[in-house]
Structure 1
Amino acid sequence: MDIPLPYVKPLPPFLAQRYHGWKATTYSQNKAWFRKLATEGQHPRAMIISCCDSRVHVASIFGADAGEFFIHRNVANLVPAFAPDGDHHGTSAAIEYAVTALHVSHIIVLGHSQCGGVQGCLDMCTGNAPELEQSSSFVGRWMDILRPGYERVRDKYAPEDMAAALEKESVMVALENLMTFPFVNEAVESDMLTLHGLWTDIGEGTLECLDSKSREFFPV
């Protein structure tokens, strides 16, 4: 006998209304394209690793249609180092699938301004968020990935500039860790894959790209 799930509720009316509006317009006007995607599968050219932050609208920034990007989102757009230890690694699994199954040509790591995850890491590393130091904190243990980035900027920037600097370090830490994955490294070395680092200012709508030699970000 199936066990009921009393804690699961119907979709909120405002979301149901939006769905019906989408189905009647966007889907209806592009029905052939959606059915083509369904029958032929996805063939995205790029994977984008971005933050969970609801203000970072990846598809909108690049004017992307369905099927163009393989998008993975997590707190602070981070990538853990390669660690095939048998534990659950959603980000690592997404990267593996994108590179070895979908054969994407580009992986883009997209950071952003006013990142709550990065601010949490900064607070944790400066002793202002003891709750994140607890072993039971999922956010804290995830933000441990960014500790090397904090160590690089801690003595280089004034306190008021630290968060913005660490946001860009999160992009570089992710890119560095990407190269620890053997299949990523092999694809990059064989010119089958390129890596890119971006940072966007939410309020200003600007987009900056990482220069590999200077480790600085410049306007796109």
Structure 2
Amino acid sequence: MKLVRPLPAYLVQRYHGWKATTFAENKSWYRRLAEDGQHPRAMVISCCDSRVHVTSIFGADQGEFFIHRNIANLVPPYRPDGDYHGTSAAVEYAVTSLKVAHLVVLGHSGCGGVRGCFDMCSGHAPELEEETSFIGRWMELLRPGYERTAGCEGTEQRLRALEQQAVIISLENLLTFPFVRAAVEEESLTLHGLWNDIGSGGLEQYDPESDDFLPI
């Protein structure tokens, strides 16, 4: 492990700043979190995109959200085939162990993963179609969304629709997990689909009756 290096100086400085201010002013709260464990009310599945800051959007503090991030905020279908499933494991833990009351899938504008899916499915990203591409294999989950958005006029309109399809497909896939469907049917868990416009700060939620995203 000789290739592992110490943290860069700016991160070390930020850590010491946090420890001396935020942590020092809330020591009892952090001690309580450590001793009592976590009891989040909601799980949020969001994109890895550095511009999507879930806790800031909702003004959440430590211990409120159980957050899982991946490329394009996708959830694979229930498939217990013995392979590695980080997202599926996170969903299982949140629903069966933490007993979260809400499960939120949060998509966003300008998603690079969604753009990669669009380019791959339209034949403009052959590198993503290689079996060795982790991104390409992951974005295959969104290929049905690419097909659903075939009627959109213009690339930008289709990309936005595809970003929202990433949320819808993830919600559909969540319901293939037996423990998720059971919790939803028992009304101990609710599912929510959101899409965030990064530039305007807008937030839209999926409305199943209109099959569309409406402003909050």
The equivalent residue for 2:106 is 110
List alignment gaps of at least 5 residues for structure 2: none
1: CA distance, partners of 2:43 / 2:153? 32
Say which of 87, 110, 116 aligns to 1:120. Answer: 116
1:183 aligns with 2:179: yes
1:58-114 per-position Cα deviation (integer Å, ceiling 9, x unaligned) = 010000000000000000000000000000000000000000000000000000000
Query: Any idea what SS the aligned residue of 2:136 has?
Result: helix
Q: Displaced runs of 4+ in structure 1, greater than 4 A?
A: none
Query: Any idea what SS the aligned residue of 1:49 has?
Result: strand
Query: Match for 2:4: what amino acid?
Result: V
1:135 aligns with 2:117: no
1:12 aligns with 2:8: yes
2: CA distance, partners of 1:213 / 1:16? 49
State the Cα RMSD in Å. 0.7
The equivalent residue for 1:64 is 60
The equivalent residue for 1:159 is 155
Query: How high is the TM-score relative to the length of structure 2?
Result: 0.99
1:82 aligns with 2:78: yes
The size of the alignment, in residue pairs, is: 216
List alignment gaps of at least 5 residues for structure 1: none
Q: Percent identity?
A: 66
1:167-213 per-position Cα deviation (integer Å, ceiling 9, x unaligned) = 00000000000000000000000000000000001011111111011
The equivalent residue for 1:207 is 203
1:44 aligns with 2:40: yes
Please say which of residues 44-53 and 203-212 is displaced more in the overlay: 203-212
Query: Match for 1:214: what amino acid?
Result: S
2: CA distance, partners of 1:88 / 1:76? 18
2: CA distance, partners of 1:149 / 1:192? 29
1: CA distance, partners of 2:154 / 2:126? 22
